[in-house]
Structure 1
Amino acid sequence: MSESRESRPSLALRARWAQGFLFLIPAIFCWGLARHEPALLIDDAYITFRYAENLARGLGPVFNPGERVLGTTAPLWAGILAGARLLGFAIPSAALVLGQIFTAATCGLLAWILFRHVAAPLAVLAGLVLALHPDAIFFANSGMETGLSMALVLGSLETALRRRFLAAGVLSGAAFLVRPDGALLLLLGGVLALLQGRKSLVRFAIAAAVLVLPWIIFAMVFYGSPIPQSIAAKQLIHATSFRHALMGYALLFLPPVWPMRLLAALALPGLGLALISRGRLWPFAAWAILYIVGLVFSRISAVFPWYLTPLLPVMCLFDSETWNRFFLRGTGIPACHQPAWLKRIGWLGAILLLGLGGWLYSFRPFYLEVREAQFGRVREYERLGEWLKTQARPGDQILVGEVGALSFALMDFPVLDSSGINSPEILRLHRADQERSLAAGQAAESARWVKEVIQRFQPEWIVTWYRFLHLEELAQDPDLRSRYVRVKPPLPNLDRFFVLERRESP
C-alpha cells in the first residue's frame, strides 16, 4: 500500500513529462517545415520594419524622422524588432526567425490546451494539422506579427480559463499592442475574470493596464492618438458594403481547396456546441465569432488574407473538439470504462485528421504560386530601391504607390506614402476627391487627388507599379510631362513600374 502511494507522485510527474514531450512534437514539426519553405516577406511587413529601424537609430517610432504619425498597427512587434536590431540582427532576418518561432509555439500551445479536453492523439494531431496548413507556414515566413498574435490569443484565453488572471491580463495587454483586435481579448478576459468575482477582475485589469496604459499615454502625447492612422486609410482605400464584406470574408475562408473547406466545416459543430452548452472551450468560440463580426463591420474588403489567419488555431482546436464530442465524449461513457473499440475510434480520428492535414499540405505548390502572384513584387521593389539610392540626392522626397519594401530600402530618404497610412495630408486629399466623385455620381475616385498630392508636395521622384496612382492616365497629362521625365532603370523585369524624376527648373 505504501509503495502504491509513493509511486503516485512519480507516475504523475512522468505523465507530465510525457505530455510536455508530446506538445513539443507539433512545435518542432512546424519549425522544421517553416525553415524548409521559401521566405516571402509581405510588403505590409516592411512598414513596421521602417518604424523599428528608425526606433533603433534613436529617431523614435516614426515612419519619417520628425513626422509623428502612427502608421503601424503592431507597435509591440516594432519594439521587439528594434531590440533585435540593437543586438546586431538585420530586421527582416529577425522578423523571419521570430515569426517561425512564434508560429511553432502556437502549434505546440494548441496541443497543450487540447490535452485537457480530447484524447492525446487528437491533441497532437491538431497541432500537426495547423503546422501543415499552407497559410500558417506562409505567414510564419512573411515577416508579419501573425505568429505572435496567434500565440497570444491562445495563451491569454487559456490562462484566463485556468483562472490565472494576472498572466491573462499581461498576455491580453500584449495582444492589444500587437494588433488592434487584441481589444477582444481584453473584453473576453474581463468577462471571464468577472465571472469569478470582482477580485479576479481587478487582478486582470491591473495586469492588462500595466502594459496598455503606458502605451496609450505615450501615443496620446507623441502621436496625438493611440488609434493607428492605417485603420482610417484602409477604410478609405478598401471600403466596401456590409454585404460585400460578409461575402468576401466567407469566400476567403472557403478557398477553392477542398481540405481547407473540410477543415472549416469540421470545426463548425464543435464551435456551435461549445457556445450552446457553455462548455469549457466557449471563450475560444466567442472570440472567433467576435473576431469575424468585427472584420465584417469594419467594412474593409477582404483583400488581405492575413486578416483571417489568426482564426486557424481556433479552427484546428474545434476540428478536434468536433470529433471528440460526436465520437467519444458524446457516448457518455467515462474514459476509464470505454471499450477498446471506442478508443480505436479516437485513434482513427487522429489518423483521419492527419490525412486531412497531409492532403492540405499537398496543395502547397499551388498555394505558393497564388501567394507569389499576390506578393512577389516585394523583390522588384527591393531591387528598385537599391538602384534608386544611387540616383537620388540626399533629402529627395519620393512618392511611392506601394509603401512597404520600397520605403524600407530607402531608409535615408523621406517617403511620401500614397496610401495615407503614414501621411495624414495625403489621406485628406484622397478622401476629399472620393467625396467629390461620389457627390457627382462618378467613380469612387479620380486621378485628380494624385495630381493634387504632386502639386502639394513636389516630390523629386515618383515610383510605383503601373496599376497604382493612375499613372497610365497621368502620363499623358501635359502638365505632369512638362515637370517629370520617365526614367527606365537598367534592371530586368521592371517594365511594369513607373519611375518619374522631376525635371530641373530652367
Structure 2
Amino acid sequence: MKPPSPKKETSKFDSTFDDVLLGLCLAAALLIGLKFVNYAYDDAYITYRYAQNLSLGHGFVYNLGQDFLGTTTPLYSLILAASSLLLPIPIASGILSLCSLLGSILLIEVLGRQSKIRFAGSLASLFLFTEPQIYQIFGGETLLVYFLLVPAGLTLHQGGYRGLAAITFGLAILGRMDAVIFVALVYGVDTLRRRQLPIKEGLLIAVLLLPWFLYSMTVFGQLFPATMATKMAMGASGAWKLFGPGSQIYLYELNPYQGLWAPAFVLLLLLGVWRSLFKERVWLFFLGNSLLFAAIYQWILASAFSHWYLAPLYFSHALLLGAGIRQIWTLFQNPFPDARRRIRINGLPTLVRVVFIALIITVVTQGFKGTRTFDTQPPRRELYTEVGRWLNNHTRSDESVTYYEIGYLGWFSDRTIIDPVGLVTPGGLESIRQGRLHWVVDRYSPDYFIHNSRNGRDPILSTSAFRSRYKPVKRFQVADYPGELEIFQRLR
C-alpha cells in the first residue's frame, strides 16, 4: 500500500491569496516609493557628479582635470550618464532605486516558486516597502546591486541560464566591487555540488570586468577606487565607527523591533533562520552573503561604517522574516507533523488566516507610520544646498572649496572640491589614519574653507596661521539643524 502523498502547504485559496497579496504589495511599494524618488543621501551626489561630467564630455572625473577614481560604482555612473539625456540625474537615480525595490519583490517571488515556496515575494515585501531605513539608501547604487542584479543573477543561475547569470553577476560587480562576495559564494557552492569549476562563467565575468580594469589602470593608475583605502584609513583613525558598532544603531532602529512587537519579531527572525537552514535553503545565499559581508568589513578591512552598507542585510532580513511567517503558518496547519495521520483541528485554518491577516495589517500600519514621518528633505540637505548655490553664484568657476561632506555641496556649487576625507582628493591617506583632516589646507590651499559648528569650534580657526590666511565671509543656518556653516575665504 502506497503511503499518502504529502499535502501541499498552500491550498487553492492560499495560492490566490498569495497572488492578490503580491499585487497589493507591489502597488503599495510603488505608491510609497514615488515619495522618495527625489530623495538621495549626501554621498550619492558624488556619483551623480561623476556621471554628469561624463555626460558633458569631461571624462570620468569628479574635479575637472583631476584623474582620480573616487566612486565605487562605474556601472551606475555610466547608467546615470546615459539617463541624463532624458531625465535629471538625481531623478533618474531615484527611479532606478524604485524599480530595484519593485524588481526585488518579483525576483524573490520567482526564486521562491523555483524552489516550490509560496508567499515568498509577498511576505518578504512586507518588510521591504514598509521599512523606512531602506528609503534612506534611495538614490545610491546599493539598491540596484543588492536588490536587483544580485537576486536576478541567482534567479537565472537557479533556473539553468548560467551564461546570463554570469553576465548579470559581472554587472553587479561593476555596480559595486563588494558584490564579488555573493558571486564567490554562489560559485563556491556550485563547485562543491557539481564537482566542476565554473570556468565558462568565470570567463564571461572576466570579459565584462577586464575592459574596466584596463581603462582604470590606464587613466587613473588605479585598479580599484580609492574609496575603500580611504574608508580603511578612516576606520584606523578611531574618529569614525567601524562597521559593527556603526551598523548596530541602524539595525536596532529597524521598524519591526520598535515597541511591544519587538520580541515577536525576534522570534519570527529565529524561525526564519531555522526554516532557511532546513527547508528553504535558497535564502542561505543571501544570509551567508550578509554574514560574510559584515565580517569582511568589520575584521578584515576594518572599514569605517556607511549606512548604505546595510543594503544586503536589509534584504536578507526581509527574507528571513518572511520565512518565519511561513514556518508559523506550517506549524498551525499541522501542529503535530510527526503523527502518522494528519490531525485536523476544526476552525484552525480560518483562525490561522485571521492571525496572518492581522500580522500583515500590523506590519503595514507600522511601516506607513515610519515612512510618513521620514523627512525627504532633511535640514542638512537644505543647508548644504543653500551653501552650494551661494558658492556657485559668488565664486569663480576656477576656485576651490574644502569641506568634509561633499555630496550636496559639490553638486550644487559645481566648484573644485578639496576633500579632507580623501574620497575625491589624493594624497592624504596617512594624515587621515592619524585623524588629521587639515592636511588639505597646507597641501592644496583651498580658496574657501567651510566650518560646521555642529561638532564644536574647530581648533584650526584659532591658529595664527589660519587667521593670517583666511577671513570669514558668510554664515548659514536653517531651522532644525544643530549648527551653522561658516565660510572663510583665502586672502589674496
| 1:152–1:172 Cα contact (<8 Å) kept | yes
Name the structure 1 match of 2:5. Answer: none
Question: Structure 1 residues 241 and 466, CA, compared in 2 at 3 Å: closer, same or farther?
Answer: closer
Q: Which residue, out of 208, 211, 221, partners 1:224?
A: 221
1:501 matched to 2:489: yes
| Cα distance in 1 between the residues matched to 2:121 and 2:343 | 19
1:368 aligns with 2:354: no
Residues 132 and 358 in structure 1, CA contact (< 8 A), matched pair in contact too:
yes
The one of 203, 207, 223 equivalent to 1:206 is 203
- 2:254 equivalent to 1:257: no
Distance 1:171 1:345, change over 3 A: farther
Take 1:42 and 1:458, find their aligned partners in 2: how far apart are those partners? 28
Tell me the SS of whatever aligns to 1:488: strand
Does the Cα contact within 8 Å between 1:464 and 1:498 map onto a contact in 2? yes
Structure 1 residues 282-293: aligned runs within 5 Å:
282-293=284-295
Give the aligned partner of residue 28 of structure 1. Answer: 27
Partner of residue 392 from structure 1, selected from 392, 395, 398: 395
| Contact persistence 1:119–1:324 (CA under 8 A) | no
Counterpart residue type for residue 488 of structure 2: L
TM-score by length of 1: 0.80
Distance 1:242 1:208, change over 3 A: same
Equivalent residue letter for 2:170 = G
- Single out whichever of 228-237 and 189-198 deviates more from structure 2: 189-198
Q: Which whole-Å CA distance do the structure 1 matches of 2:428 and 2:356 have between them?
A: 53
2:447 aligned to which of 460, 463, 482: 460
Distance (Å, rounded) in 1 between the aligned partners of 2:443 and 2:242 = 35
- The letter for the 2-side match of 1:160 is H
Aligned partners of 1:165, 1:241: CA distance in 2, in Å? Answer: 45
Aligned residue number for residue 124 of structure 2: 126
Question: Alignment partner for residue 351 of structure 1, among 352, 357, 362?
Answer: 357
Q: Which runs of 5+ in 2 are unaligned?
A: 1-13
Aligned pairs, how many? 464
Change (3 A) 1:318 1:353: farther
Paired AA for residue 396 in structure 2: R
State how far apart, in whole Å, the 1-side matches of 2:210 and 2:353 are.
47
CA distance in 2, matches of 1:96, 1:364: 19
Equivalent AA in structure 1 for residue 129 of structure 2: A
For residue 489 of structure 1, report the CA deviation from its aligned partner: 5.1
Partner-residue secondary structure (3-state), 1:73: coil
CA distance in 2 between partners of 1:415 and 1:253 (Å): 33
Query: For residues 473 and 184 of structure 1, what CA distance do their matches in structure 2 show?
Result: 42
CA contact (8 A) 1:466 1:497 kept: yes
Residue number among 191, 194, 203 corresponding to 1:194 in the alignment = 191
The structural deviation recorded for 1:275 is 3.6
Structure 1: distance between partners of 2:25 and 2:343: 27
Distance 2:247 2:136 in 1: 19
CA offset digits 1:18-66 (Å, max 9, x no partner) = 9888645433321111113584321101110111011111121111122
Describe the shift of the 1:236–1:260 C-alpha distance in structure 2 as closer, same or farther (beyond 3 A).
Answer: farther
Give the Å deviation of 1:143.
1.5
Over the aligned positions, Cα root-mean-square deviation in angstroms equals: 3.5
- State the distance in 2 between where 1:377 and 1:464 align: 14
* Aligned twin of 1:408: 411
Secondary structure, counterpart of 1:225 in structure 2: coil
Structure 2 residue 151 is the aligned partner of structure 1 residue 154: yes
Aligned equivalent of 1:328, options 307, 327, 330: 330
Q: Distance in 2 between matches of 1:16 and 1:347?
A: 13
For 2:288 and 2:227, the matched residues in 1 are separated by 27
Distance 1:107 1:405, change over 3 A: same
Task: Check the 8 A contact 1:157/1:185 in 2, yes or no.
Answer: no
Given the alignment of the two structures, is residue 75 of structure 1 paired with residue 81 of structure 2, yes or no? no
- The answer to whether the Cα contact below 8 Å between 2:36 and 2:94 also exists between their aligned partners in 1 is no
Alignment of 1:442-453 (within 5 A): 445=435, 449-450=437-438, 452-453=439-440
Letter in 1 for 2:73: A
**Cα distance in 2, alignment partners of residues 414 and 242 from structure 1:** 25
**Which range moved further: 385-394 or 353-362?**
353-362
Contact 2:232 2:303 in 1 (8 A): yes
Q: CA deviation at 1:368?
A: 2.1
Q: Verify the 8 A CA contact 1:103 1:136 in the aligned structure 2.
A: no
Q: How does 1:240-279 map to 2 (within 5 A)?
A: 245-255=243-253, 257-258=258-259, 263=265, 265-275=267-277, 279=281
8 A contact 1:381–1:405 mirrored in 2: yes
Match of 1:487 in 2: 473
- Range moving further from structure 2, 114-123 or 211-220: 114-123
Q: Residues 497 and 242 (structure 1 numbering): CA distance in 2 closer, same or farther, change over 3 Å?
A: closer
C-alpha change, 1:262 and 1:300, in structure 2 (3 Å) is farther
Partner of 2:3: none
Q: Spell out the pairing of 1:417-432 with structure 2 (5 A cutoff).
A: 417-431=419-433
Q: Which residue of 2 aligns with 1:182?
A: 179
Q: CA deviation at 1:472?
A: 2.9
Matching of residue 55 in structure 1 with residue 54 in structure 2: yes
CA offsets per residue over residues 146-177 of structure 1, 9 Å max, x none?
32122222222232233322122122112111
Q: Equivalent residue for 1:3?
A: none
Between 157-166 and 108-117, report the one with greater CA deviation: 108-117
Name the amino acid aligned to 1:43.
D
Q: Give the helix-richer structure, 1 or 2.
A: 1
Counterpart Cα distance in 2 of 1:338 and 1:75 = 57
One-letter code aligned to 2:440: V
Contact persistence 2:50–2:60 (CA under 8 A): yes
Q: CA deviation at 1:76?
A: 0.9
**What is residue 313 of structure 2 aligned with on the other side?**
311
Q: Which runs of 5+ in 1 are unaligned?
A: 1-14, 435-444
